[in-house]
Amino acid sequence: MDTTGSDYEFVILGSGEGSKYLAWTLAAEGKRVVVIERKYIGGSCPNIACLPSKNVIHSAKVAQHVRESEEFGVVTDYFHVDMPAVRERKRRMVQGLVEIHLANFKKSGAGLIMGSAKFVGPKKLEVSLPDGKTRVIHGDKVIIGTGTHAIIPDLPGLRESNPMTHIEALELDHVPEHLLVLGGGYIGLELAQAMRRFGSRVTVIERNDRLASREDEDVCEAVHQLFEDEGIAVLTNAESTRVEGTSGQSVKLYLTRNGSPASIEATDILVATGRTPNTEGIGLDLAGIELTPTGYIKVNERLETTAPDVWAIGECAGSPQFTHIAFDDFRVIRDNLAGENHVTTGRQVPYCLFTDPELARVGLNEKEAKAKGIPYRLAKMPMAGVLRTRTLSETRGFLKALIDTESDRILGITVFGVSAGEIMGAVQIAMVAGMPYTALRNVILTHPTLLEGFLGLFSSVPPRASK
């Protein structure tokens, strides 16, 4: 890879989702582009976040299938979970992904410098290289895509207990005996269920009064029920106060729950209480780049920072914390560099919690519609009514759609059930195409598939009130 020159048309800090696509696209157009990356080629998603977590979660699902195999007429006398092998499958996948990234850098002509960078002036970065040397690089235009990292809350004894974050949890070579998961957000929930299925005793500690608290009440309850049914202890309304011991050996967590003190002993702690931007100590002030009060890079809707010719992309810019949003940020910057006016405002933010079954949503749920005073017609149907789920013995959950009262426009869909992410995606495409719900109700869908559920779901939409 050519990294010999010191000056580039584009210097991109971090090789995460938006950054890398921008680098490859601009370089393929013949621009002189370099990406500086301190550790993870391709960013968090392929190395330590989305893809490795889904890989490990799938191993956990296989373990669950084996555990329940008798129901399917497959009898196994004995099985055990081999965590080094789980890890090895994940590592092989990650290695393959890194190789794909390196090939893309090579093919596009974008440079890749491995090193940690900080601004030393406007559009000027100093890179600390692995051999201990430094190098200063100047770019005509600079894009910052440094991402976020897990917050370790300021809780007495927590840092000293050497807790795991998702990074260490995805590298485990053994099943923790009793895992405490601090935080019932999507990272905590996905890993909690996976570890339970590998054989861990798991306790989730959540400060809110419910799991998945942004969702409608019936959804929160369904997720909670799933966790209870799998034997995961969920402590809501729980405020952690102190930790004793060392994660990996033995730990004791002190907390207050509904005002009363309590404590739990366990062997391991996984912290999943949120993310904070990688914007500290990288000289942003020397480059005229301002931050928001919460430490994210201040950007406008075109993702321009407060410094001329400097953009921010992905999580460090405060964009919703999903890979597909970081990718959309790439499109925004690419188009604006080409002279268009592409903005981040008003875009759809679909998402999927990759528990088993999944929880996926795009558009409004009831809670949001009510808060915004948007009237809606509600259609809800159990997943058990989708006959495909019966062939799979995966009948848990439901589909829920909100339809406009004045037109037949779909306002949002929530799916809690098998392959929820794929089902939601199909409705999202209809929403983007501006299709009325009746189109999904009347289309001929293959039997027996999960999408066939649309027939039942959208047939149950209440008629529009006549005026």
Ligand X SMILES: Cc1cc2nc3c(=O)[nH]c(=O)nc-3n(C[C@H](O)[C@H](O)[C@H](O)COP(=O)(O)OP(=O)(O)OC[C@H]3O[C@@H](n4cnc5c(N)ncnc54)[C@H](O)[C@@H]3O)c2cc1C
- Options 129-137, 197-205, 243-251, 321-329: segment touching ligand X (CB under 6 A): 321-329
**Could you tell me the two tokens for 266?**
């366990």
187 scored as a contact of ligand X (CB under 6 A): yes
Is the peptide bond preceding residue 46 cis, with omega within 30 degrees of 0? Answer: no
Using CB under 6 A as the binding rule, whether residue 347 contacts ligand X is answered as: no
Shortest spacing between CB 58 and ligand X, in angstroms: 12
CB half-sphere exposure, 139, CA atoms < 13 A: 27
Residues 150-169 that bind ligand X (CB under 6 A): 166
Q: How far is the CB of 172 from ligand X (least distance, A)?
A: 13
**Residue of 105, 311, 322, 398 interacting with ligand X (CB under 6 A):** 322
Q: 323 vs 369, which CB is nearer to ligand X?
A: 323
CB of 390 to ligand X, least distance (A): 28
Query: Which residue of the chain is nearest ligand X when measured via CB?
Result: 16
Selected from 8, 12, 19, 457, the binder of ligand X by CB under 6 A is 19
Regarding 45 and contact with ligand X (CB under 6 A), the answer is: yes
Tell me if 17 contacts ligand X by CB under 6 A: yes
Strands (E), 122-168: 124-128, 134-144, 148-150
Decide if 26 contacts 110 (C-beta within 8 A). yes
Q: Helix, strand or coil for residue 365?
A: coil
Give me the helices (H) in 230-317, please: none
**Which of the stretches 40-48, 95-103, 198-206, 233-241 binds ligand X when contact is defined by CB under 6 A?**
40-48
Site size for ligand X (CB under 6 A): 35
Q: Is 37 in the site for ligand X (CB under 6 A)?
A: yes
- E strands along 267-407, which residues? 268-271, 275-277, 310-312, 351-353, 358-363, 376-382, 398-404
Q: Angle formed by the axes of helices 17-28 and 323-337, to 10°?
A: 30
Contacts 24+ apart (CB under 8 A), 386-393: 386/417, 386/450, 386/452, 386/453, 386/456, 387/447, 387/448, 387/452, 388/448, 388/449, 388/450, 388/452, 388/453, 389/417, 389/418, 389/450, 391/448, 392/418, 393/68, 393/71, 393/72
Nearer residue to ligand X within complex by CB, 215 or 366: 215
Decide: is 318 part of the binding site for ligand X (CB under 6 A).
Answer: no
What residues from 272 to 311 belong to the interface with ligand X (CB under 6 A)? 278, 282
Least Å from the CB of residue 169 to ligand X: 8
Closest CA to 449 of 358, 388, 381, 399: 388
| 189 touches ligand X (CB under 6 A) | no
Using an 8 Å Cβ cutoff, are 253 and 263 in contact?
yes
Active site (annotated) includes residue 101: no
By CB under 6 A, tell whether 117 contacts ligand X.
yes
Say if residues 454 and 403 touch (Cβ distance below 8 Å): no
Q: Which stretch binds ligand X (CB under 6 A): 39-47, 378-386, 399-407, 442-450?
A: 39-47
- Of 12-20, 156-164, 231-239, 454-462, the window that binds ligand X (rule: CB under 6 A) is 12-20
Binding site for ligand X (CB under 6 A): 13-19, 36-40, 43-45, 49-50, 53, 116-117, 145-147, 166, 187, 278, 282, 314-315, 321-324, 326, 354
